[in-house]
Amino acid sequence: MPLEWTGLSPEVLLSVDRTGAEPLRAQLERQVREAIRSGRLDVGERLPSSRELAGALGLSRGLVQDCYAQLQAEGYLVTRVGSATRVAAGACRQPAATPATPAPAPRLIADFRSGVPDLRSFPMADWLWALREAGRAVPTAGLDYGDPRGAPRLREVLAGYLRRVRAAAAETDRIVVCSGYQQGLDLVLRALADGGARIVAYEDPGSPETAASAAARAGLTAVPVPVDETGVDVDALAATGADAVIVTPAHQSPTGVVLAPERRLALLDWAARTGGTVIEDDYDAEFRYDRDPVGALQGLAPDRVVAIGTVSKSLVPALRLGWLLCPAAIADRIMTHKYLSDRGSPALDQIALATMIESGRYDRHLRRMRTRYAARRDVLVDALATHAPGVRLTGLAAGFHAVAHLPDTADETAVVAAARTRRVGLYGMSAHRSSHATTPPSLVLGFGNLSSDDVTAGIAAVADLLTAP
């Protein structure tokens, strides 16, 4: 598709050799002709005006006009009075035939993919307002590379916010802004590896591929640790000899259990005794419904816990903004890896997020979304009670996914495949297990990016699959 230019003419890479035997006009004609034949200039592409091209190449305008006239006569260019000179239709090289693109898959009635917030509810007006405010307020010096830890204003605002909302021990100098959870985890694991760590544990079920790939990039070995109804098994963790462990204590992903108080204390005791590090993924901490909010582990042991937070669930993943609360012992190493990785996350977006938080618009959005997700959760419960009453749901106290426990005789893989033929996206717990075992059979049902009507329609369409032996 040709570029549409407004105002000044586009630039085209052309050159002339005044020391060669070939006349200048012939050189120019040949280069434009080859650019069109090769497809470098597409059909409809606008060329520079004769005046601008002549000035750029140090040629007379008449020579360029003669060149354009010759190429127009040959059918390469087309010129109309009052309009720019463009590449003529049919002048470019025809692209090689490509295999037919398969027809797109039918649109799903409902896609219960977990981990996705309500993308339609992103407060676009508030974000654009915050961006404008950020652009208006940022000093000239703020447009430089800046501190690799992140914009000072955002780190200061985050420190206050996390102390207030998550009971975190947040200090501005120990916050590093990152591009989402994945980069944050990479930075932490590399910093730990620099300090001699060799083994990192992760919850099972959890995110085995994410943990294993991040560990491999840092030169670490990843080992699974089982999760039960009260959270990660600390005794099993101790038996692994791990130097660090990745946990989701506020709302375990994907089981939805909350790390019990005695397990929280045992985990922090393990870290103190072994010199281990707890990597706290503050997953779904913003969205709690049936019980009081649970404070961050980091607030209890800031020298042993690294907390990772993002706006991927509270706002949208596309913003790619997150943060690390770093223990003093590894804060500088994390900052160094951040600098070497990308020199820092986008500054204007950071200032915009700080502006949203300071203005109260971020809190207002979270309150609105808590109500919305809670309503959809209730719709999911009602839909299963109506259409598949034998299916038990757990993990409902927070977040926007739940676990549906299928009959012991059900074939998880077959249920997922059959649901797809009915245009419903279901996802098995096996994808979250290190062994990929399909027993006991269960589904992780995400409802964050579905309307209430979609939830009801999706469950009704697959209800018999969920209850069949």
pLDDT in tens, 263-308: 999 999 999 999 999 999 987 778 887 666 778 999 999 999 999 9
d(CA 243, CA 89): 65
Average pLDDT over every residue of 15-24: 89
Would the pLDDT of 193 be above 60? yes
d(CA 321, CA 178): 6
Domains and their CATH numbers in the chain: 24-87 (1.10.10.10), 110-116+364-467 (3.90.1150.10), 124-360 (3.40.640.10)
Q: Is the pTM of this model over 0.85?
A: yes
Tens of pLDDT, residue by residue over 431-454, are 999 999 999 999 999 999 999 999
Residue-level pLDDT at 3: 46
Contact between 71 and 29 under an 8 Å Cβ cutoff? The reply is: yes
In this structure, of 40-49, 155-164, 300-309, the range with the lowest mean pLDDT score is 40-49
Distances (CA, A) of 169 to 227, 249, 298, 323: 27, 17, 7, 14
Residue-level pLDDT at 79: 83
Tens of pLDDT, residue by residue over 164-183, are 999 999 999 999 999 999 99
First to last CA, the chain: 54
Residue-level pLDDT at 97: 61
Residue-level pLDDT at 406: 96
pLDDT band of 89, cuts 50, 70, 90: confident
Contact between 338 and 178 under an 8 Å Cβ cutoff? The reply is: yes
pLDDT band of 98, cuts 50, 70, 90: low
Residue-level pLDDT at 29: 92
